[in-house]
Structure 1
């Protein structure tokens, strides 16, 4: 089994590579672009993926009970490094990932993902579902992405727990079946994308008070409130292939640049 590259003792980078990374971020900031990658998740762990993980990620991968879940986690984090490496012009092995402090409770163990090396001001968000992983990256502080494999859902039961009153009315107006399931998934991924962009997650949000305008094609403006702080987000639906629903959230004031999609090769 390959040995992970580990969390480096120094987060410094070769000056030439650091200059390339800094320039890439400047271009990204000037364009306002958000870059989105997605990839299939394997059933078994790939040794080449595992070799890119740091020690903390390696140890977390070992704690998964199901091989498929471990393989998905490993592929997602390795693929995120490869995508960031291509964006920043550095080798994948020189990219290290960690977590930011949770803005809700101040805990550093479950905050949003961050790029530790190169130490550049990028916002990143990762999401996994059955068979697919998605990464969103933008220059700045916050971004959120969520993806869900479409499946039959008990929308009536879940609606009371996660949908606003107006969202429940929209859902009730749809006949049971694929269209209704698609509408629920659209609503759910939008909510997930917002709470991940805010950084507090599902636990820190009253989902029935988070209105994501499921009847509108978007982009839509979504207001989020947490501990007396109100923020506004621009939320877009993403096309990541048949059988999946995905959404992207970014600060409304910065939602002026295009979303650049990088389909799997």
Structure 2
């Protein structure tokens, strides 16, 4: 896993590494900071792959898999197109931070969220299980409760990104992340006609982020997570 800080403006050196579709997406973003974060994260993923594989960053292509739920081509999980290797990848960005994870196998999911206050109305919505809701309401209000919510949320999103269905394709109130456990822990995802098991762990990259990583449950998930420090402060 790699992580980095993103500048508030687009770096031309980062932009030069993007593919045509990524370039179009960046152009369509209204806020320059959002575009800079997107461009930085995509370029950072290519540099990380270049470092890992010993190849120039510009020789890697990123695309996306077919959606495992509906089979559509326009909203599947990210895919390493070139070089064509059996590696799973996942990206996340939040509040000027970019995170990239790569692993062997068919799926991996990473999510990062900047720690910040959250609306209490979320606790009564449809994104939490009953157990998660009880845990959060039993936590001291204020920063501790906000941090607990982000821990739950990053675990959920890491799993749905690993599955490939995304938040819209998951009944979040059935996806229990067991917030009372420190982990690594097993989380079961109930998809459309398919149930999958994942090993999820929280990672401390900086005290300003909540980060979770999901890998398929099994021998591969028992291996260590190799953290690469940020290349810039």
Please state which band the TM-score falls in when normalised by the shorter chain: over 0.9
Aligned to 1:86: 51
Aligned to 1:58: 23
Aligned partners of 2:67, 2:40: CA distance in 1, in Å?
24
How big is each residue's C-alpha offset from its partner over 1:57-116, in whole Å with a ceiling of 9 and x where there is no partner? 111110000100111110000000000011011111111111111101111111111111
1:10-29 maps to which residues of 2 (within 5 A)? none
Aligned partners of 1:88, 1:115: CA distance in 2, in Å?
12
Does residue 108 (structure 1) correspond to residue 73 (structure 2)? The answer is: yes
Give the length in aligned residue pairs.
230
- TM-score calculated relative to the size of structure 2: 0.96
Q: CA deviation at 1:228?
A: 2.0
Does residue 256 (structure 1) correspond to residue 222 (structure 2)? The answer is: yes
Aligned partners of 2:211, 2:196: CA distance in 1, in Å?
21
- TM-score calculated relative to the size of structure 1: 0.85
Which of the numbers 126, 134, 147 marks the counterpart of 1:182?
147
Q: CA deviation at 1:156?
A: 4.3
Pairwise CA RMSD: 0.9
How big is each residue's C-alpha offset from its partner over 1:4-62, in whole Å with a ceiling of 9 and x where there is no partner? xxxxxxxxxxxxxxxxxxxxxxxxxxxxxxxx100111100000000000111111110
1:21-40 maps to which residues of 2 (within 5 A)? 36-40=1-5
Secondary structure at 1:161 match in 2: coil
1:133-212 maps to which residues of 2 (within 5 A)? 133-212=98-177
Aligned partners of 2:34, 2:167: CA distance in 1, in Å?
21
**Which 4+ runs in 1 deviate beyond 4 A?**
none
Whether the 8 Å CA contact 2:123–2:133 is kept in 1: the answer is: no
In terms of Rg, which structure is larger?
A: 1
Aligned to 1:231: 196
Q: Which runs of 5+ in 1 are unaligned?
A: 1-35
Whether the 8 Å CA contact 1:190–1:235 is kept in 2: the answer is: yes
Aligned to 2:11: 46
Aligned partners of 2:90, 2:69: CA distance in 1, in Å?
17
Q: Which runs of 5+ in 2 are unaligned?
A: none
Aligned to 2:212: 247
